[in-house]
Each structure stands twice: as C-alpha cells, then as structure tokens.
Structure 1
Amino acid sequence: MIKFSSYVSFILVTAMIGVSMVACDSLPSLGEEEEAEPLEIGTLLDYTGDLGVYGKPMRNGAELAVTLLNDSGMNVVAVHKDSGTDAKVASDAARALQAAGVSGIVGSLSSGVTTAVAESVTIPGGTVLVSPASTAPSISVIEDNDLLFRSTVSDAAQGSVLGKLADELGYKKVGILYVNNPYGDGLQNIFTANFSGTVQAVPHEGELSTYMSEVTKATEGGVDALIAMSYPGSAQVYIREALEGGFADTFMFVDGTKSQDMLDSLGANNFEGMYGTAPGAPPSDAKNTFEELYEARFGEVPSDPFLGETFDAFVMIALATEKCLHDGGDDANCDGAGVAAAMRDVSNAPGTKVGPGDLANAVELIRSGEDIDFEGVAGSQEIDDNGDVLNSIEIWTVKGGKIESTNRFEAP
C-alpha cells in the first residue's frame, strides 16, 4: 500500500512536471525569435464626397509602399479610413486611427479637412499627420507642435505659377469659382496677387445641385477664361452650367480639378488645348522607378494626382519610425514626438540618398546608425521648419481628350 504522504508527493511532482512541460511548449525554441508586432500606419483618404474620385488611386500608392517596405525587412501594415471630404467624418476616423495606435497618419486631401483633423485630433493627441494633397498656404502657420507635415508643395507656389501662366496665355480678365475653404481661398488670393489682369472671384459651397448664381457673377461682362479652383464633384456641376448656358467656353484648371473622369463626363473634347497646374515633379530616377513598380503591381501607369505624394508620405513615416526605434534602443518611446523628431533626419540632407527602388538599403543604413536622405517620387522631400517641402509645379494640358504633361515644371 502506498502511504498517503508518498502519494501526495507523487501527485505534486507529476503536476510540476506537467506545468514545466506546458511552459516549455509555450517558449520559443533555441534560435527562434518571437515575431514583432507590425508597425501600423494609418491613411485618411477620400473615397466619398467631393474628392472621392482620388481616394482609390492614392490608396494604391500607400499599398505599394507597404509592399516595398516589407520586402526591405520591415513589418508594416496600412490601416485605411475614409476622410469623406468632410471635417467631422475625417475627425472621427482620425480618432479611430489614434485609438488603434498607429505610428502616424497619411492624410487628408482637402486643406479644410486636414486643418480640422490636425487642430481637433492629431495635434492634441500627439500623432504625426502628413498630408499628401492639402496645399493651402494657411497650413504652414498652424501651431502644430511640429506634428503636421506635407509631402506636397504649398499653393504659395501653384498660385504664382498659375497667375503667370494666365498672363502668358494673354488673358486680360478671368473669372474664378473657388471652393469656400482654406484651399480655395488661399489659392485664389495668391493667383490674384500674381496675375496682371482683372479677376472676378466668387466662392461656392461644396456639392450643390446648381451653381448658376455663382457662374453668372464670375463671368459677368464676359471673361477670357473661367478658372475652376474646386473639387471634381462641384466643378463638374458648374462647368456644365457654364458651357450649356454660354457663360464661358475657355477654362483653366488646378490640382483639385485635375480629373480625367470629370473631363470625360463633361465631354473632354470641350477642353482640348486648355491648361492647368498641379504639384508635380520632373522626371527623375525615383519617379521613373515608382512608375515602373506601380505599373507592375496595378497594371497601369500612374496618372492620377498625388499618387507619388501618398507613397512618399507613407515611406517617410515608416522610415522615421524605424530610425526612432533604432536610435532609442529597447527604451525607445516612439510616440508622435519621437517620430516627428526623426522625419527630417530621414528626408533631409546630409545622408546617403535613397529612393523607391532601394528601400532595403535605407532600412539597413538606419539599422547601422547611418544617415539617409530620402529622395521621393514627388521631389526631394526636404522638409523645412514649417513641415513644408519645396517641390515644383507641373503645367498640364488636355490633348486628344486626355490629360497630358507639357513637361514644364516650375517654381515661383
């Protein structure tokens, strides 16, 4: 017969062995490392609303960045939210991204929406926000604790180039319909300051069913051209009214109305030989590589606005986070301030120049403690004290019914 004390000892030993075996099973084997949690980066792009036509192509730019970064040894995930071309929708989405713990956010498009998101969500919450498309000059002077950046050039450049182009085309009097937000107001003000002729500028609200009153005011007395400083949804309505009512037959466009879908819906032949401006970079190794990689991934050449800027913004946040983690070691606190502090380190000279085709080298250099200088698709992406970049403006035209570059890239 087994004594009771011996029996208890036997049970205890057996239980301890079992626990030990379970514990051993739960640990990685020798040489096996636990997989690190992925780096999550949010996007706040427009899939609905006045700018809804731009969201999906821009998302493709972000997804290409994810693929190339992961091929380079990082573990990155994009978390996508709809900005809706609406301040409330975008702010709610930004709060959800913050709650998910993203390292930074790429967005939004509308300058008014980006301003609202920055001031009400990302700045108070300490999250880096990099807009690939918001061009209003007013963004440069927001009190942002160095958390707000852009990968696209300010309209301080576009308005100047557009004004000089209107002079060059011989226009003496132009009408402007501009969206009543910081983007439209800022762009028309800078255009007016740089155009030598007469301007009839009329603001409008977004996505109305008719703009006949605004069209009438902007073209009163006749104009040489009507400039559409808006977004595709609303511009499509008032350009149609201007054409059908005989108010104007010559137009100029900007980045917000650089939309092939919009022109097609209005009859692209109506705009043959007309001009527009938008942020854009001249041919470069970085741009050529991006176009090749994009076509290989999505089966088409990238032609929509702000694709390169979206790609650049995503990569800049990822590389800045990687640098923050490396420089801080095990105790790294890579919150918004930490990522923001590294943004210029990875984007500005000095450092080894890297681009879309050599992100693996960029990651390796960062992990080796070396400086890098990211050369983006949309330009050099040298970030100034305001979080702005000093890239160029492209002059584009409509040829054969299609938007086409004139291969003129200018700065004020």
Structure 2
Amino acid sequence: MGAFSRATAATRSRKSKAILSGAALVSATALALSGCASTPEGDGGTTPAEDLTLKIGTVLPQTGSLAFLGPPEEAGVLLAVNEINEAAKSIKIDLTPGDSGDADNKAFETTVPKLQSAGVSAMIGAAASGVTKLFLDSNVSAGIITFSPANTSPDFTTWDDDGLYWRTAPSDLLQGEVLGNLIAEDGHKNIGIIYQNDAYGTGLFGVVKEVFESTGGTVVADASYNDGDASFDAQVATIAAANPDAIVLITFDQFATIAPLLVNAGQDASNFYLVDGNLKQWGDQVSVNLAGAKGTTPGPVLSDDFQERLNAAWTADGNSDLTDFSYAAESYDATVLLALAALASGSTDAADIAGKLREVSGGTGDGEKCTSFAACADIILGGGTADYDGYSGPITFDENGDPTEATIGIFQFGDDNMHTRIN
C-alpha cells in the first residue's frame, strides 16, 4: 500500500447517509448562560466586551475497558486549558474532569448529570462511541455541546443533534477502509474477525468486511461478544475452525484475553490486525509474542515538542509519565476549537459556540490560517476570521460536525509487544 491516498465525498446534511472512501491520509469534502455582552468586530463575528469564562467538563475513560486512552486524552485537554489560560486572550477555561468509564461500569451516569448541573457549555468525550450514544441525547436536550476526540462510529454523522455534536476523530468509514486495504495488500485472502457488539465494533466490522471483500478476499468467519463478557472460548473456536490466514480483532482491552486463546488454538499472532480500541503498548500485559502484528489508529505523527509539553502538563498535575499518545492531539484541538468558537461568538452559550465551530476550523472556506490558540485568538480579537489547523490535522469541519481531513496511522509490533509507527 502507498503511504497515502485520498478520497472525497459530497457534503451531507445531518440526516443523510455518508459514504466515504480513502486510505492513510483521507480528505472528505463533502449551554450554560451567555458569557457577557459582546461588541461587533468586522466579518469575524463578535468579540467579548469583557473576558469570558468558559466552563467545560471531560467525560473520558479513567476506568473501564478503554482506560488506557484516558491519560493521553486528559493530558491533551489539560495542556490546551493551561495554554489558553496562560495566553490571556479575553477568555479563561474553567475545567471539571470526569470519568466516562465504559458501557459496562457506566461511570458516565454519575459524571454527565454532575457536569450538567455545574452549568458546563460543553463536554469533551466520550472516547467510546457506544458510551457517547448513551448520553448524547441528554446533552442535546440540555443544550450542551458534546465534543468527542475519539468517537469513530459513522452513526454520529446523521445523528439528530441540533448541531451540538462535534468530533475531531474521523469516522470508521475511513479507518475501516485503511485496515481492509492493508490486510489485502499484505497478501491475505481469507480472514476471520472478532468484534465487540456495540456501535464501535459493529460499525468498524462492517466497513472492514466490505472493503476487504471488495479486494477479492473472503471473511471466512466472524464472531461477536458483548462488553463485559469474561469468556471468549466460543468466539475463538469459531474463528480457529475456519483457519483464516489473518485475524482482525476489533476489541478494547479484551484483546489481552483473546490473543492468547487464539494462539493456543493454533493461530499465528504475527497475522493479527488490531484497531484503535486495542492498539496500545501491551508489553508484558499480553502473554504471547505479538511480533509482526499490525494495527491502525487515527492521528498524525506528533512532534517531539508536543509530546514533551503533553507529558510535562500531565506529570505536573501529579500523574505518571505518559506511555501512549493516542487521541491526545484530537483532545487538545477539541479544547482549542471550543475556546476559539466562544471567542468568535463573544459568548459562552453552547448554541452560539456551536454556530462558530465550523468557521474557526476553516470549514466555511473563509479565514486566515493559524496554528496556535494565541495566534488564532489575535486574529479574532482583531476583527478577523481564524482558520485553526491543529496537531490532529487541518480538521476543517463539514456541516455534520465531522472533520473532513484525517490521517490514519499504521503500526507494527516488535518482540517486546511494543508497537512503532510504520506509516
């Protein structure tokens, strides 16, 4: 497979069906009280007559089957909040962190009402599409923005959300295509797929299957499980009986249990393919050698400087060093975009902010390019229109709140069960 390829899709309404295609670099073209009085400033909208205080909360996985994504995501938000507040550009962020948990432990059932009662304008999260689906309608009814750095289910593109749902992660229509093509280009003809039976798993399973079969390959067996299941013997037996030449594992941390079962059943771990939900630095947390296994996850290569700033902010808050940076950039950018949209609207009302999110991402086709909160804020405060390009990419929201440009990285595991980026 080439390092990059592109695809385009028509612009869609929130109630239309999206069809995207692409590979490693994909370009798809397609709350609270008002902060204060505002003053018109040129074509860029309004700028605040006094400093705004924007209340946001996080609903990110501190516990549950995606807990390994919590630290980098929370670090991304924390770093952005620190840098926005230090910039002193007429807006301050008041952050309240919270745990999303997963669909099994349901920590979000405590976090979301707490944040709603606290009067936040926006919640950043959840990471799991299945979790966001369980509270999104509640936030829409409450007039609060839900902004996920990691939701990838295609279902959100057409969700009836009153314009209050946004994400900096690309749809699985993109990741699924990259993964399906990667498996085919690696020479595999017959694959098995084990997937989690939720919005994330079923959506990604469907795309991978469709794309792989379009290359002439065959999905010889598939098996699903439910989040919270502890036994996977039946699923492993189904896959092993078909003797595929590669196995796709669309799971969260259940991978650590499933992988050894597959190896014990005679399957070669070097032919495993992972996804963003389980592509972590497994090390000794998995009892079999994963050397040669590959996986995909959204996100560009992060600069050393950005990773160092993330880690510094995270450890200064009393945490251990980061070992993973998945979705850190998307979380950082989500926070910056919310602040810029508030500044552009001169308001901390969720509807006003949502009305400016596409503009500050460059999705309206107007604006001056800028790559930091401070630089973008200066443009807005000067009466102009900012077009923010962040660490996760150009972003450029379409009318559905989806990013129209995204990078899907390809990773490979070594003998130490740690992965490195190969594309």
For Structure 1 versus Structure 2, the TM-score category normalised by the shorter chain is 0.7 to 0.9
| Aligned equivalents of 1:56, 1:258: Cα separation in 2 | 15
Query: Any conservation in 1 of the 2:61–2:70 contact (CA below 8 Å)?
Result: yes
Q: Which residue of 1 aligns with 2:77?
A: 62
| Aligned equivalents of 1:159, 1:248: Cα separation in 2 | 22
How far does residue 387 in structure 1 lie from its aligned partner after superposition? 0.8
Deviations 1:128-155 (A, max 9, x none): 1111111011111111111111101110
- Structure 1 spans left out of the alignment, 5+ residues: 1-34, 326-331
CA separation of 1:277/1:211 partners in 2, compared to 1, >3 Å: closer, same or farther? same
Query: Any conservation in 1 of the 2:191–2:244 contact (CA below 8 Å)?
Result: yes
| Aligned equivalents of 1:317, 1:236: Cα separation in 2 | 36
How far does residue 61 in structure 1 lie from its aligned partner after superposition? 1.1
1:200-219 to structure 2, matched below 5 A, reads 200-219=221-240
How far does residue 403 in structure 1 lie from its aligned partner after superposition? 1.3
1:280 aligns with 2:296: no
How far does residue 364 in structure 1 lie from its aligned partner after superposition? 2.1
1:322 aligns with 2:322: no
Query: Counterpart of 2:295 in 1: which secondary structure?
Result: strand
Matching residue within 94, 97, 100 for 2:118: 100
How far does residue 95 in structure 1 lie from its aligned partner after superposition? 2.1
Matching residue within 39, 46, 57 for 2:61: 46
Deviations 1:361-409 (A, max 9, x none): 2222222221111111111111011111131211111135221111x2x
Query: Counterpart of 1:157 in 2: which secondary structure?
Result: helix
Query: Counterpart of 1:46 in 2: which secondary structure?
Result: coil
1:224 aligns with 2:241: no
| Aligned equivalents of 1:60, 1:214: Cα separation in 2 | 36
Q: Which residue of 2 aligns with 1:353?
A: 369
The farther-off stretch of 379-388 and 201-210 is 201-210
Query: Any conservation in 2 of the 1:51–1:231 contact (CA below 8 Å)?
Result: yes
1:157-196 to structure 2, matched below 5 A, reads 157-195=174-212, 196=216
Query: Any conservation in 2 of the 1:219–1:226 contact (CA below 8 Å)?
Result: no
Query: Any conservation in 2 of the 1:295–1:302 contact (CA below 8 Å)?
Result: no
The farther-off stretch of 274-283 and 73-82 is 274-283
Query: Counterpart of 2:230 in 1: which secondary structure?
Result: coil
Query: Any conservation in 1 of the 2:75–2:311 contact (CA below 8 Å)?
Result: no
Matching residue within 308, 314, 318 for 2:329: 308
Q: Which protein is bigger by CA-based radius of gyration? A: 1
How far does residue 49 in structure 1 lie from its aligned partner after superposition? 1.0
1:2-401 to structure 2, matched below 5 A, reads 38-73=53-88, 74-86=91-103, 88-119=106-137, 121-195=138-212, 196-199=216-219, 200-232=221-253, 234-249=254-269, 250-260=271-281, 262-267=282-287, 270-282=289-301, 287=303, 289-298=305-314, 303-325=324-346, 332=347, 334-348=348-362, 349-355=365-371, 358-389=372-403, 390-401=405-416
| Aligned equivalents of 1:237, 1:344: Cα separation in 2 | 42
Runs of 4 or more above 6 Å deviation = none
Query: Counterpart of 1:242 in 2: which secondary structure?
Result: helix
TM-score (norm 2): 0.80
Query: Counterpart of 1:171 in 2: which secondary structure?
Result: coil
How far does residue 339 in structure 1 lie from its aligned partner after superposition? 1.0
CA separation of 1:297/1:179 partners in 2, compared to 1, >3 Å: closer, same or farther? same
| Aligned equivalents of 1:157, 1:293: Cα separation in 2 | 29
| Aligned equivalents of 1:376, 1:37: Cα separation in 2 | 22
| Aligned equivalents of 1:302, 1:350: Cα separation in 2 | 38
Identical aligned pairs, as a percentage? Answer: 31
